[in-house]
Amino acid sequence: MTAPSLSTLAFASPSTLPEICDLLAERSARGGETVMLAGGTDWYVERHAQLPLAGAPLVIDLTRVAALRTIDLHGDRLVLGSATTYEDLRRSPVVSVRAPLLAEMAATVGAAQIQARGTLAGNLATGSPAADGVAALAALDAEIVLMSRAGEHRVPLNAFYTGYRRTVCRPDELIARIEVDLPGRPSHQAWRKVGTRSAQAISKVALAGIAVVADGRVARIGLGMASVAPTTSFLPSVRALALGRSPRELSGADLDEATGRDIAPIDDIRSTAAYRLHVARALVRNFFAALS
């Protein structure tokens, strides 16, 4: 069975955030399903695998809301509108200089067409454990700003997911923006994606990392790893091991052990659990070796 065709769905095309919040509140109060559509790079594919819905969803087109597609820097606070695309990240001088990790990640997401359409909020809302954007934002300890008719509230990214493809976002809320505190001093930022080929591939394992070393010790550490657990892994054991220590003190064996505690890879069509564990450990070792 196939999902209903697009021609049968109701569409709304608001131009402001309050309009979106009103639509979500009204639809949620009636128990109706709502789909917020920006790039559609995930939804258009996944909907063909869904069974017909009891009631067709209302599709809210977000492309007219300019406030959702912004990149701003306020001191060391980077503010990204939720409809910011990967191409926007890749081309932004601000991102390239202050958050090169995001620019490098964006350049490896699918083909040029996907980069031009895919959005950060789409990546976040879909909740795939292989999501490149989520891993990069995890390393930066991003904060998600959710908006509804009642106002805004903030959720740290490490509290955003409640399980595989499940989030804390309520039916009457949308992801309005993503905010990141950038290091105020020089940092080491890295993105490494391991896949079947060098481009247009879903990762077998991907690692995003940021580190600030001051007076010979790790003063800030952020890590995000994709495709190794039901949700993006923040590698908390590895972070705890490294913070406050000299990179030269971190043995390969200790890093391997901590990495193994933080992930739960599986066998699937793209790879095996054993290979993912091996690659994950190698990526973590290489990241810290670059700090020495």
CATH number, domain at 193? Answer: 3.30.390.50
Q: Verify that 177 and 197 share a domain, yes or no.
A: no
| Stretch among 46-55, 90-99, 136-145, 279-288 having the lowest mean pLDDT | 46-55
Confidence at residue 1, expressed as pLDDT on a 0 to 100 scale = 45
pLDDT greater than 80 at residue 56: no
Q: Is 1 a domain residue?
A: no
Both 177 and 71 in one domain: the answer is yes
Q: What pLDDT is stored for residue 41 in this prediction?
A: 75
Q: Within a domain: residue 173?
A: yes
Count structural domains, the chain: 3
pLDDT at 110: 82
Last residue of a domain, one of 43, 61, 79: 61
242 pLDDT more than 90: yes
Mean pLDDT for 233-245 is: 98
pLDDT reported for residue 40: 78
pLDDT band (50, 70, 90) for residue 200: low
Strand partners, 153: 146
* pLDDT of the residue at 5: 62
Residue 45 domain-assigned? yes
The verdict on residue 176 lying in a domain is yes
88 and 22 both lie in a single domain: no
Within 8 A by CB and 6+ apart from 158, the residues are 138, 141, 234
User: Which CB contacts under 8 angstroms, 24+ apart, belong to 195-203?
Assistant: 195/270, 196/270, 199/108, 199/111, 200/110, 200/111, 202/130, 202/227, 202/270, 203/130, 203/132, 203/227
* CATH number of the domain bearing residue 17: 3.30.43
Q: Is the model's pLDDT at 93 over the cut of 70?
A: yes
Q: What is the pLDDT of residue 10?
A: 87
The pLDDT assigned to 51 comes to 46
- Whether residue 235 is found in the same domain as residue 159: no
Span 244-290, pLDDT tens digits: 999 999 999 999 999 999 999 999 988 999 999 999 999 999 999 99
**Residue at 143 is within a domain:** yes
Note whether 261 and 282 are same-domain residues.
Answer: yes
263 in any annotated domain: yes
In which band, very low, low, confident or very high, does the pLDDT at 27 lie, cut at 50, 70 and 90?
very high
- Is the pLDDT confidence value at 113 over 70? yes
Integer Cα distance of 155 and 51 in angstroms: 32
Per-residue pLDDT at 193 exceeds 80 = yes
Condensed to tens digits (0 to 9), the pLDDT of residues 157-167 reads 999 999 999 99
pLDDT at 197 over 70: no
> What domain range is 111 assigned to?
66-181
Give residue 263's pLDDT: 98
Whole-number pLDDT of residue 48: 62
Which of 146, 181, 216 terminates a domain? The answer is 181
| CB contact at 8 A, 205 and 225 | yes
With residue 120 as reference, give the H or E element that holds it. helix 120-126
Residue 140: inside a domain: yes
DSSP sequence for 209-241: EEEEEETTEEEEEEEEEESSSSS-B--HHHHHH
- Res. 2: pLDDT tops 60: no
- The mean-pLDDT minimum among 51-55, 192-196, 230-234 falls in 51-55
pLDDT, residue 65, reads 95
Q: Does 99 score more than 60 pLDDT?
A: yes
DSSP structure class, residue 57: P
Shared-domain flag, residues 72 and 175: yes
Looking at the structure, tell me whether residues 78 and 176 fall in a common domain.
Answer: yes
Same domain flag for 175 and 195: no
Q: Report the pLDDT value the prediction gives residue 185, as an integer from 0 to 100.
A: 83
